[in-house]
Amino acid sequence: MFDIAAYLPSNTREYKYEGKNPTEDNCITFLEVFRDEFPEKRTEDKVSYEAEMAKLLQGENDSTESYQPGVKILRWFGIKDQVATTPMIGKKPEIFLLEVFIGKWIRGLSRARTRTKLIEVSDELPTLTSTYRKVLNIEKAELELEKDKQARGKGKEIVWLRKCARL
């Protein structure tokens, strides 16, 4: 037969129970042991929303690198990245917090042109996901514009070289 006394290490809380099961009669003893076993988290472990946003905004990340930490912060604080579909949902503090979060996320982007364009259309961006997609679209358009400028520059060089060759 299995001997529980031999199995338990000598430093367990078995002695506080005095061999009794925790019931309503000895609930206080049970709570004391429970608190000893599972202490509450200290206040220095608690982090505010503002502190996490400040950490996110301090980095020199591009949009992809700053999106994932932003999503983690939203999940950590239990904020759903959703559109306020009804007026009642629109009045919830989580929606206001999401709007502030998106505004700060936009202002934390490293590219000034992207940041400026997003600030102009920020009223049309209800979620962090839609904001991130807009950032990707803007960055893709800027990259294509840069490629077009480079191609035109090379075309001008070729025209200039042809003119030089005719002389």
pLDDT at 15: 47
93-123 per-position pLDDT tens digit: 777 778 878 887 887 777 788 888 888 888 8
Range of the domain at 95: 48-163
- For residues 118 and 131, is the Cβ–Cβ distance under 8 A? yes
3-state secondary structure of 22: coil
Give the confidence band of 126 by pLDDT, cuts at 50, 70, 90: confident
Q: Are 135 and 109 in contact (CB under 8 A)?
A: yes
Nearest to 135 by CA among 159, 111, 157: 111
Reported confidence tier of residue 21, pLDDT bands at 50, 70, 90: low
Q: Enumerate residues 6+ apart whose C-beta is below 8 A from 155.
A: none
Percent of residues, the chain, with pLDDT higher than 70: 58
- DSSP alpha helix (H) spans, 18-167: 27-37, 49-58, 63-76, 87-90, 93-107, 112-120, 128-166
pLDDT top residue among 23 and 123 = 123
Position 2 pLDDT exceeds 70: no
Assign 59 to helix, strand or coil. Answer: coil
104 and 129 share one domain? yes
26, 95: one domain: no
* Residues 128 and 71 sit within 8 Å (Cβ to Cβ): yes
Residues 20 and 55 in one domain: no
Are both 97 and 67 inside the same structural domain?
yes
Number of domains in the chain: 2
pLDDT in tens, 45-69: 555 666 766 666 655 666 667 777 7
